[in-house]
Amino acid sequence: MAESKDGGLVFKPMDQFKVDSLFGDGPIGMFTITNVTLWMALAVIAIVLVMVVGARGRNIVPSRSQSIAEMIYGFVHNMVRDVAGKDALPYFPYIMTLFLFILFANFLGLIPGSFTTTSHIAVTAVMAVAVFLTVTIVGFVKNGTAFLSLFWVSSAPLALRPILAVIEVISYFVRPVSHSIRLAGNVMAGHAVIKVFAAFAAGGIIAVPAILGITAMYGLEVLVSAIQAYVFTILTCVYLKDALHPHH
């Protein structure tokens, strides 16, 4: 895919992110079955396999697949409890949904030739905005107007407080932007770099360092996949903590 017909090298590192209709060539409407649909469905299937089929034994001494599901459960459960507090546990399924979707979408995206749904800003932005709205609504429902004290840093000198309030408000509204771009940017950049290396690997002596580069980047991307899922989730927990306990 990197070799053009006229023999030169053509870099198309972004082609892997194209949203295509799976059946037919028509324009992509809202309900068109696309590669997005396919890879999201595969993520759902993978999640069901790991979290339901794998954990089905419910043994006192866990089987291997059960251990995996239990470790993921314990990891996210502890994160929610430690970061956001015990009263955030009702939101545990919601946070678990985000974590598992991002984790599995990232990992499925590492399969060569696959489509990475989390590399799209549309996907991550929806999740980030959903988190932003949830947190804001929860904050106001649980605390009423006291939620606004999040922006009023009572520990700062009085003269500084209005300035800090402006900064806090801006940073609050920037949250969904950084939250979504961090994930999509990391995933997209890594995949694009791998593709650039792949273009060089097409031939010649340059192929050797290029293939080594792909290998190294791939290892890094495995790490990034897990870490970005973790970062997205822990930030959600931090925002949720702000909503439940807005006092500094």
Partner 1 sequence: MATPTEVAEAPGMPQLDLSTFPNQIFWLVVTLVVIYFVLSKIALPLIGGALADRAQTITDDLATAEELKQKAVEAEAAYEKALADARSEAQKIAADMKAEVQAQMDVEMAKADAEISAKSAEAAKALSAIKDSAMDSVKKVATDTAQEIVKAMGGSATKKDVGAIVANRMKG
Residues that bind partner 1 (CB under 8 A): 14-15, 17-20, 25, 27-32, 34, 36-37, 40-41, 43-44, 47-48, 51-52, 55-56, 58-60, 62, 66, 69-70, 73-74, 92-94, 96-98, 100-101, 117, 119-123, 126-127, 184, 188
Nearest approach in angstroms of CB 21 to partner 1 is 9
Nearest approach in angstroms of CB 50 to partner 1 is 9
Task: Kindly tell me which of 151 and 233 has the beta carbon lying closer to partner 1.
Answer: 233
Task: Kindly tell me which of 121 and 148 has the beta carbon lying closer to partner 1.
Answer: 121
Identity of the amino acid at 154: S
Spell out the alpha helix ranges (H) of the chain.
Answer: 35-48, 64-79, 92-109, 121-143, 161-200, 207-244
Task: Kindly tell me which of 70 and 168 has the beta carbon lying closer to partner 1.
Answer: 70
Q: Are 197 and 217 in contact (CB under 8 A)?
A: yes
Nearest approach in angstroms of CB 44 to partner 1 is 5
Nearest approach in angstroms of CB 157 to partner 1 is 44
Task: Kindly tell me which of 92 and 230 has the beta carbon lying closer to partner 1.
Answer: 92
Cβ-based neighbours of 209, under 8 Å, separated by 6 or more? 200
Q: How far apart are CA 147 and CA 238, in angstroms?
A: 15
Task: Kindly tell me which of 37 and 136 has the beta carbon lying closer to partner 1.
Answer: 37
109 closest CA partner among 184, 180, 20: 184
Task: Kindly tell me which of 115 and 147 has the beta carbon lying closer to partner 1.
Answer: 115
Q: Are 81 and 99 in contact (CB under 8 A)?
A: no
Nearest approach in angstroms of CB 70 to partner 1 is 6
Residue 16: DSSP 8-state:
G
Task: Kindly tell me which of 65 and 143 has the beta carbon lying closer to partner 1.
Answer: 65
Does an H or E element contain 54, and which? none
79 closest CA partner among 218, 193, 240, 195: 240
Question: How far from the centroid of its chain's Cα atoms is residue 175's Cα?
Answer: 14
Question: How far from the centroid of its chain's Cα atoms is residue 193's Cα?
Answer: 19
Nearest approach in angstroms of CB 58 to partner 1 is 4
Q: How far is CA 220 from CA 110, 113, 226, 229, in A?
A: 11, 18, 10, 14
Nearest approach in angstroms of CB 100 to partner 1 is 6
